[in-house]
Every structure is written in C-alpha cells, then in structure tokens.
Amino acid sequence: MSRLLCSNSNPVTENTMRQAFKRFNPFMVGLFRLGLGWAVNFWPKVGGRIMVITHTGRKSGLRRRTPVNYAPIDGDLYCTAGFGAASDWYRNILANPEVEVWLPWEWRRGRAEDVSQDPRRIPLLRQVIIASGVVGPMVGVNPHKMNDAEFDRVTSKYRLVRIRLKERLSGPGGPGDLAWAWIPVALVAALLLFGSRRRR
C-alpha cells in the first residue's frame, strides 16, 4: 500500500488514512531495502503495483523515500498524490523534479512532472487507481464501476504525476542495500535448527 489514495469526502477518514500511511510507509521502504521489492509486488491485483520514489526535501535538502502505487504506461510511470497538492512528496518533486525510483527489479533515475491538466487525465488516473489493487475501492474510489463524471468528481483533488525514466542505477544506496541482513538471520536459523536436532 502507499499514500496514494484517500477519500476526499470525509476529513476524519482522510486524517486516519494519512496517519496509517505515515506509519506503514517506513515498513514498505524497509522491505525494498531488504531486497523484497518483488515480494511486495507479488499480487498486484490485491496489493497493487508499488514503487519507492527517492526525492529531495524542498526545505531540508535531505533525501526522502516514499512508496506509491504506480502504473507503467507507454514507457513512463504514472502515480498520484491522493492527498492532493499538500502531499509532502508531491511538493518536493515540484521543487526538485529529479528523482530516483525503486521498482521490483530495477533502480532508475527519472524526472517527475505534474500532468494533472493532461486531457487524458481521467483514463491515465484510472489506470493508476486500478494499479493500486484493493486500496482504491477500500477508500471509495472504484475505477471499475465509476463512470468518467463520477470518477472525475471523486478524484478532483488528486494530482497526477508522470515520471520519465532515465538511466539504470546500481551500487550502494539503492534497493537491496540491507539484503546482507539475511546472512546473520540465516546463520541464526541454521544454528537453532542444528541445536534442535542435536537435542533430539
């Protein structure tokens, strides 16, 4: 899941969703750092397609990471700021559009831009919501059942973002940078298993 979506009809629900995503996002980023981005995306019809955007804080200048749902369309990646223009990561990419994206199997540079005024907004955004799995319908945005007028009304404050992919990246600081943690875990598991068998 990600901070992509929230109902804009109930401020209490929106605040609840904000807090839930704020707590859940570090866990999602952690899974990517452990090399489990592929597992996070194992069942996209349910859990959605998820990537991590690395962006630069507009005030702090620090690197930030945010997991978002996305849809690959015509070689670009599309995602949405479901909390609207107030979303921190969205405001950061407006200030500095150069980003990095962690995908299930690769790490790329990219350039983000707001395309909320694109005449194709509704079909593009519909694809992003479909790519969010159960999250869309869960918060009241059902892309399969809503007609264009209803869909446009419910998602009126959503910001649509396109990321044009650039070169592939590798090395330290990317997804899987904590994959080494599996080594001590595997050693401890092996020792416990060996000890258990010896006691028998």
- Give the global pTM: 0.83
pLDDT digits (tens, 9 = 90+) for 83-114: 899 899 999 999 999 999 999 999 999 999 99
Cβ count near 169 (within 10 Å): 16
Contact 132, 125 (CB under 8 A): no
pLDDT digits (tens, 9 = 90+) for 26-61: 999 999 999 999 999 988 889 899 999 999 999 999
Instruction: Indicate the pLDDT class of residue 172, thresholds 50, 70 and 90.
Output: confident
Taking every pair of Cα atoms in the chain, the longest distance, rounded to a whole number of angstroms, is 70
What's the CATH code, domain 11-175?
Answer: 2.30.110.10
Cβ-defined contacts of 22-27 (< 8 Å, 24+)? 25/66, 25/67
Q: Where are the domains of the chain?
A: 11-175
Contact 110, 163 (CB under 8 A): yes
Nearest Cα to 88, choosing from 69, 107, 65, 110?
65
| Tokens (6 digits) for 99 | 């980003």
DSSP-based three-state secondary structure for 73: strand
Cβ count near 119 (within 10 Å): 8
Task: Compute CA 47 distance to the chain's CA centroid, rounded to the nearest angstrom.
Answer: 11
Task: Compute CA 161 distance to the chain's CA centroid, rounded to the nearest angstrom.
Answer: 12
What is the distance between the alpha carbons of residues 103 and 108, in angstroms, rounded to a whole number?
A: 8
Residue 73 has pLDDT above 70, yes or no: yes
To which H or E segment does residue 68 belong?
strand 63-69
